[in-house]
Amino acid sequence: MPYAHRLRKAMPRLGLRPYAKILPSLFSACPRQKPSMPRLCTTLLLLALSGLAQAEFTMPTLTAAQLDWLGARIYANECSQVPACLTSWNAGEEFPSLGIGHFIWYRAGQAGIYQETFPDLLRYLAAAGHALPPWIAQQGFTQPWPDRASFLDAREGSELTALRELLGDTLPEQTAFIVQRFHAAAPRLLAAVPPEERAALERKLVAVAASEAPRGLYALIDYVHFKGEGTRAQERYQGQGWGLLQVLQAMPEVAANPLDAFIASADAMLTRRVANAPLERGEERWLAGWRQRLATYSSADRPTPR
């Protein structure tokens, strides 16, 4: 059953691993009279299982004004809302960071410990009807610059200029992409821990999301975009991660203010990351900026949109 095999392979990436055991019985119900039916049935099963996974969580719904505020906050966090920053390559990093969320983009064949996200954003924008610069498809959705110096030399060239224009014109779509990534990550967090720990983890996740709305949800969405899910084995220093999963696990199960507890736990995880990082990376230089970003999660930062 080739389509069932493809579905099974896709399930971990889609956060659907807990439902893999019921796949054979579901797929056996798919009609096979026509060659197209297994493919159609696979698509419908993916949609149904995605809905089932999402239904495990009750998350607040963001208003249009809150979504605009969320995108502006992330753009300010990463770029101080400066358009030139939409195509950046930070000193000390092995890759460029692009868009309002500084999505990571690797060269062809480059293996990094951080999750690459920019090609997925490009495909998301294309699916939404935006025309991508032709050179992106010609490059196979990989970035063409071998190092930071060559990237900086090309900043005012036609390729990066066209890419900045695309990114500057798609701020709402980039915000929607970031929110979608968070909702896709939520089921994967549960799947990454032993069954006996899942209920406590879900309670913490829901409590933070509901805290000081919409700031709790902003904190979760921004952090999973900022420092990852914490589910990838590659994203570890000395065997210890720093993603959303580790932040939630380190939180107390009962907190007077779940958002404050989340911020304190995130600070502890990032401090631990810096202590565990290879010395040559010099990550202590980034810790103050990371803490400033965590401070934006607090209601003391500025008024909250409604």
Q: Is there a single domain that holds both residue 163 and residue 213?
A: no
Report yes or no on 300 lying in a domain: no
**Mutual angle of helices 36-54 and 171-191, in 10-degree steps:** 80
Same domain assignment for residues 30 and 85: no
Residues 136 and 211 in one domain: no
Judge whether 199 lies within some domain: yes
Taking the CA atoms of residue 174, residue 47, residue 226 and residue 210 in that order, the dihedral angle to the nearest 10 degrees is 100
The verdict on 96 and 128 lying in the same domain is yes
Structure tokens at 25: 């019985």
**pLDDT of res. 225:** 85
Tokens (6 digits) for 262: 């989340």
56 falls within a domain: no
Is residue 210 a part of any domain in this protein?
Answer: yes
- Same domain membership, residue 288 and residue 198: yes
CB-based burial, 59-93: b 16+ in 10 Å, e otherwise: beebeeebbebbbebbbebbbeeeeebbbbbeeee
pTM for the whole thing?
0.73
Determine, yes or no, domain membership for 16. Answer: yes
**219 assigned to some structural domain:** yes
Question: Quick one: 225 and 143 in the same domain?
Answer: no
- 150 and 201 together in one domain: no
84: tokens are 């030139």
Q: What is the dihedral of CA 272, 276, 279, 282, to 10 degrees?
A: -30
DSSP 92: T
259 shares its domain with 229: yes
Structural domain total, the chain: 3
Domain-ending residue, one of 141, 171, 201: 171
pLDDT string in tens for the chain (306-residue length) = 443 454 455 444 444 454 444 445 444 545 444 444 443 444 344 444 444 444 455 677 889 999 999 999 999 999 999 999 999 999 989 999 999 999 999 999 998 888 899 999 999 999 999 999 999 999 999 999 999 999 999 999 999 999 999 999 999 999 999 999 888 888 999 999 999 999 999 999 999 999 998 999 999 999 998 899 999 999 999 999 999 999 999 999 999 999 999 999 999 999 999 999 999 999 999 999 999 999 999 976 655 666
Are 221 and 278 found together in one domain? Answer: yes
Residue 303 lies in a domain: no
Take residue 303 and report the two structure tokens written for it.
């008024």
In a domain, 110, yes or no: yes
Residue 6 sits in which domain range?
Answer: 2-40
- Spell out the residues 6+ positions from residue 253 whose beta carbon is closer than 8 angstroms to its own: 200, 203, 204
CB atoms within 10 A of CB 204: 24
Q: Report the pLDDT value the prediction gives residue 213, as an integer from 0 to 100.
A: 87
Claim to verify: residue 108 and residue 161 sit in the same structural domain: yes
